[in-house]
Structure 1
């Protein structure tokens, strides 16, 4: 770690929100820390082709356990399990009488789950959204694309992007040292940190601190992190 100037460490923390780019957003109430239990909320802002959403199926990736869905406006969810009893999918289905004539609602679906101990890794939750026409024809949109690099940087993919969650390592207030095993392209995953250092390069989600980094002699702006790199992060 090389902290170049006292002015950098004296700047206050500015917290920035991380906005998901996927059509079906995925957010957590607190940072998604490895090996912790989290509430995962899936936000569905639009239906299909102007039709109201009547079913959402969220597929649970390997390593995620202790899944317990929370009832939504659609009522209670149904869980699917494999032969070993692991929850592989959660499905919320709206009652026929509650299906609207058009796409006019925002929906949120939430479950609690235990995240695996895989820091600096992206977890994908492929999701199938179903809508129904007046004649009973079902229209689906499959948000299952995982064509993105570690850190949430979208790559070319023909499929609609699956909701994704970047898992962070455990941390304590102050400085934390990590060895990053994955390629992290999008440093906004450190949106709740004060500053990130790697050698003589630094990154901060705070615009004022970023300006100081850019102006500091002998300091580079950290834009990505390569595998097997040691970093220091101050929370």
Structure 2
């Protein structure tokens, strides 16, 4: 595989890509590596129809553990736990008082917590989030960012219809080293964007690259197909 990919890998270039984000998004400082502790930041892009945000509740999904939030200038973090398991189920940040609510939707907010991610590479973790807003006249409104788009029937194409109010989502990736990495994929991967920071991906006689230039070389390579999806049990080689 490596010998056959020499021409392609030599021509790999970095791809700077932007993706549509939810109005409330979540990100880590670097790749979100499975089974590791990460600092996750929730970005609140705007309020509700011109009203300022005064409270954000982030629900913690199963598999995300060791949650420890940070207080912020926005407000102190309040942790809610399951009484039987003591597992953190949500973290809520609320502005200290009504006087701290702004007269209009003018600010961008960042809220941070630290947590252990599930050891399930190539999966997407959703954080349903409830946004509470308050207008200058005291009118309150709520937006529930709980939609989970995507999914597939395992035989046909993935469902790429975006959810109306998408939940903040984080793609969990396997540990990697610079150069070639071999993985056995245990999940269905129908969105090749999980390899957006890779140079090239090989699975048998199929290959994929986020670089349009490299992808065009793959299309021209004899006896090589464009890798469009990966199914459980597949061995792949990824160059970072």
- Give TM-score scaled by structure 1 length: 0.90
Which portions of structure 1, spanning 4 or more consecutive aligned residues, are displaced by more than 4 angstroms?
Answer: 153-159
Is the 1:38–1:114 contact (alpha carbons within 8 Å) kept by the matching residues of 2?
yes
For residues 111-169 of structure 1, what are the alpha-carbon distances to aligned partners after superposition, in whole Å with 9 as ceiling and x for unaligned? 1111111111111100000101334332000001123228xx76447651111111111
Cα pair distance change 1:20/1:37, threshold 3 Å: farther
Q: Does 1:222 align with 2:227?
A: yes
- 2:59 aligns with 59
SS at match of 1:214: helix
Any unmatched runs of 5+ in structure 1?
none
> Corresponding residue for 1:43?
43
Matches for 1:9-158 after TM superposition, within 5 Å: 9-17=9-17, 19-83=19-83, 84-95=85-96, 96-149=98-151, 155-156=160-161
Secondary structure of the residue aligned to 1:58 is strand
Instruction: Work out the CA distance in 2 between the residues paired with 1:20 and 1:179.
Output: 29
Secondary structure in 2 matching 1:9: helix
| Shift, 1:173, TM fit | 2.4
Aligned-partner Cα distance in 1 for 2:102–2:159: 33
Q: Normalized against structure 2, the TM-score is what?
A: 0.88
Root mean square deviation of aligned Cα? 2.1
Tell me how many residue pairs correspond in the alignment: 233
Deviation for aligned residue 1:90: 0.7
Q: Structure 2 regions of 5+ residues with no counterpart? A: 153-157
Q: Distance in 1 between matches of 2:81 and 2:219?
A: 51
State the SS of the aligned residue for 1:149: coil
CA shift, 1:15, in A, is 4.8
Identify if the C-alpha distance between structure 1 residues 182 and 52 changes in structure 2 by more than 3 Å, giving closer, same or farther: same
Deviation at 1:210, TM superposition (A): 1.8
CA contact (8 A) 1:75 1:94 kept: yes
